[in-house]
Structure 1
């Protein structure tokens, strides 16, 4: 079959199944990316969630022998929530980042890639493919940049002219020599708003991210959140959108093209207090379908505790004291103790002191001591 015609047929089919943008790239080794990945590893900027083998991350031929091209796809997701509930005193709410508002995008894009693969196979019997979404070996952003889906912004996001950076990315390596598309010209210019706005300085240079300092990464860790990030996290319980929200290209970009990506406001912006005592089964039933649930309940609960401290939500003290005394997890007990101190009601000091005597975990004990110290500082200033 004529490869040029097949490419056009693939593009038309992609449009029929709801893929918002599709482009094609060569399967050459990503040499520039390889240099950057080596540098980031040396500097300690990796998150640890990535594929550890840099060769696999940069050489498509290792993933699909005799790879000839890569098909890159993008689906646009909403940036605004309809009928978003307000966070009020006594009814404080957390927030999931926009990439976790609807059905888990890994499943959504995987379904699209499976359909594309079936279509290609129906057209050519010799087709071989390897598809991936986010957790695969290749860098979705590097593929999308090469294919011309968009340019790589200073915030390390792919920014498309049509949809801004509010797009999910995925790719398919093939053994078909599709003609590559041209790249999109970088339009960031002299703008540094994302770098200036990053709450933790994680964007160390244009296009260079220290993942260890990124709030999106920190919200996904399972241990104690480092002190310096606790005042930065606000009410975020998963992810961070700051570098997208300040981007001028994203202004006015809000697409509601896929019903499965529409957020349920009670899930995307949930009440915080109910999260503290939620059982595993209830958590999976309510949040299991969104991308932000992938690390389980514990990080979300820890972040919810920190968010309540951020709001100084005194009505949450009974729940926090209960966690302090009864939760089997040191991270939750300790974070609750710190939050109690941060909220600053002197009449709970006895609860912290009783917990300190009983606590066996050294890290949790240190957090209880922090809580007591915070209460002392609060009472000294009142």
Structure 2
């Protein structure tokens, strides 16, 4: 078979189905990545969301029998909303990171990869294929870097010349020997703007991140947010874009190629107070289609409480007292106590004093005492 011709056909077809960039690489092991992953593990810098088996993350042949190439795809997403909503006193809003605007990108990329698989099968019926997006074993960024999609920036994101780092990535391991593309030369140079912009210092150095300090990771955890990070979260209810918005390669990059990626402003930048009282069904109806909902309602509610404290929103005190008194989740009660202490005022103080008498959870009691100390 003429694999050179097949590669050209794949490039052409990829554009027809809404893939903004496609690249090809070998299925050789990712040896350099392996050493970095081992070091990250030793330093305790991993998020815990990764596949724990490092060998699978760097060895395509463990995922598909006799692989010969990997196809990497990238889809550009918007960096600005066409419709805007404002945050006003008494109607404060949170923000989802840009990667969680519109329909969950996992669904979008899987759709494109499935179409690509079907096309390949019409050309090579006995082909072996394995596609993955984000939650697969391979590192999307390592594949994209080697396939020439973009270079790995100091912010640990793939930066494309065309779309900046505002791209979703996915890949497909194949048994077809497709000609590999050449990687793109690193273009970050001496720039350190992303490192300087990181609110928590999670970017240890160019190309190395301590996920345990990353706001994007912290907003997805389920426990109490450590004290040192709470005020740095600001009004982020999911994810963080600081290192991307600071990047000069993202300046002016804003693409609206895909209708399913268009954000609903009321979802991407939601009012905070209503989040505190959402039922599970209401949460699913409002946020269930976005990628930021994957950890469920509780982390988003906790983050909304932190955001209300960030704004020192006195109008939210009644809702926060309700959370402190009625919420079953100790994390929500504890975070609400801290927020009431931050916002201050007599009603908040009285509620904290009363809650301290009846609260049985030791962590929540600790948060109440901490909140009361703000009044001293």
- Does TM-score exceed 0.5, indicating one fold? yes
User: For 2:295, what is the secondary structure of its paired residue?
Assistant: coil
Asked if 1:175 corresponds to 2:175, the answer is yes
Paired residues for 1:132-147 under 5 Å: 132-147=132-147
Query: What residue in structure 2 maps to residue 8 of structure 1?
Result: 8
1: CA distance, partners of 2:375 / 2:106: 44
Contact 1:47 1:212 in 2 (8 A): yes
Is residue 163 of structure 2 the alignment partner of residue 163 of structure 1? yes
Deviation at 1:83, TM superposition (A): 2.3
Partner of residue 281, structure 1:
281
How many angstroms apart in 2 are the aligned matches of 1:162 and 1:201? 28
- Between the aligned partners of 1:344 and 1:190, the Cα distance in structure 2 is 45
Q: Which residues of structure 2 form unaligned runs of 5+?
A: none
Are positions 1:300 and 2:300 aligned together? yes
1:380 equivalent in structure 2: none
Structure 2 distance, partners of 1:231, 1:286, is 26
Q: Counterpart of 1:85?
A: 85
- Return 5+ residue gaps in structure 1 as ranges: 377-382
1:239 corresponds to: 239
Q: Distance in 1 between matches of 2:262 and 2:74?
A: 17
- Aligned to 2:282, the other structure's residue is in SS state helix
Q: Deviations over 1:44-99 (max 9, x none)?
A: 00000001000000000000010100000000000001222111110000000000
* 1:66 aligned partner: 66
- Distance, in Å, in 2 between the alignment partners of 1:311 and 1:11 is 48
* Structure 1 position 28, deviation (Å): 0.4
Distance, in Å, in 2 between the alignment partners of 1:323 and 1:347 is: 14
SS in 2 for 1:252: coil
Map of 1:1-382 to 2, 5 A cutoff? 1-376=1-376
Write out the 4+ residue segments of structure 1 that deviate beyond 4 Å after TM superposition: none
User: How far has the Cα of 1:126 moved from its partner?
Assistant: 1.5
1:306-357 residue CA offsets vs partner (Å, 9 max, x unmatched): 0000000000000000111100110001100100000011332121111111
Q: Can you list the C-alpha shifts for 1:103-122, whole angstroms capped at 9, x where unaligned?
A: 00000000000000001011
CA-atom RMSD in angstroms: 0.6
Please tell me whether the aligned partners of residues 342 and 375 of structure 1 are also in contact (alpha carbons under 8 angstroms). no
Distance 2:320 2:197 in 1: 32
SS in 1 for 2:233: coil
Q: Is the 8 A contact 1:346 1:375 kept in 2?
A: no
